[in-house]
Structure 1
């Protein structure tokens, strides 16, 4: 199969790509900055499409001829209005994937709390899942924060602890999360 991986420079995507290659799939990755692939042992084995999920022409180029896709991205770190950006990107991806005959999408979202109102971030993650499912066959996995060497969460904590051995944290950081 020809598979598209969005989020290949992230923690999950960077570990998924070599497994897909080991199973004999042709893998294409959509990345904003191909330099972020440097040093990855699989970088020369994938087709790289430089682009942005916010640009329909980039998404079209990435999806053309793809059998299935992995949607492993979110805009939380890169956009001022991340919820609107995530919705727009998901709609663009879903509509073009359907138009181009992509058979299936695998999406990694976030766990929603069993009670109460989810955070703005988790509401946005759930909305992306709704959009993808509304347009094409989608398998949605939900996970809590993924904390491992190289993940955004891990690197943020590492960065803070290396620079601030003691820190008074604001009250707004007290958000319960499911492990």
Structure 2
């Protein structure tokens, strides 16, 4: 599902394919919360039924258009995993800045 204009307020989850993100998404859905997940590869995600996905990358600001539309709450559960320490810190900081 990829409909960013449904008009219903949603919760955005980044890092939904990670250990904590998967559990958060499942818990939110179980509570009846409308969930949208920003993912680099949504086709690889095993998300609960009804979860909306938006393809994007926090390191590519232009890919975030529409991802935050209609969002009341957003969870930032991502971090850069590869590269040396300096590269990790730079990518992590850039992703966080693009998120806010």
Task: Using structure 1 for the length normalisation, give the TM-score.
Answer: 0.47
**Which residue in 1 is equivalent to 2:91?**
85
1:59 aligns with 2:64: yes
- Shift in Å, 1:63: 1.0
1:32 aligns with 2:40: yes
Counterpart selection for 2:51 from 46, 53, 61:
46
Aligned equivalents of 2:98 and 2:70: distance in 1?
Answer: 17
**Which residue in 2 is equivalent to 1:150?**
none
Aligned equivalents of 1:89 and 1:60: distance in 2?
Answer: 15
- Shift in Å, 1:61: 2.0
Counterpart selection for 2:77 from 72, 81, 85:
72
- Shift in Å, 1:59: 2.2
- Name the structure, 1 or 2, with higher relative contact order (CA <8 Å, separation 6+): 2
Partner SS, residue 13 of structure 1: helix
**Which residue in 1 is equivalent to 2:24?**
16
1:7 aligns with 2:15: yes
More helix by share: 1
Moved over 3 A (4+): none
Aligned equivalents of 1:60 and 1:4: distance in 2?
Answer: 13
Q: CA RMSD in A?
A: 1.5
Q: Counterparts of 1:113-128 in structure 2 under 5 Å? A: none
Partner SS, residue 43 of structure 2: helix
Aligned equivalents of 1:10 and 1:36: distance in 2?
Answer: 12
- Shift in Å, 1:2: 0.8
Query: Mind listing any 5+ residue stretches in structure 2 that lack a counterpart?
Result: 1-8
Query: Mind listing any 5+ residue stretches in structure 1 that lack a counterpart?
Result: 95-179
Task: Using structure 2 for the length normalisation, give the TM-score.
Answer: 0.81
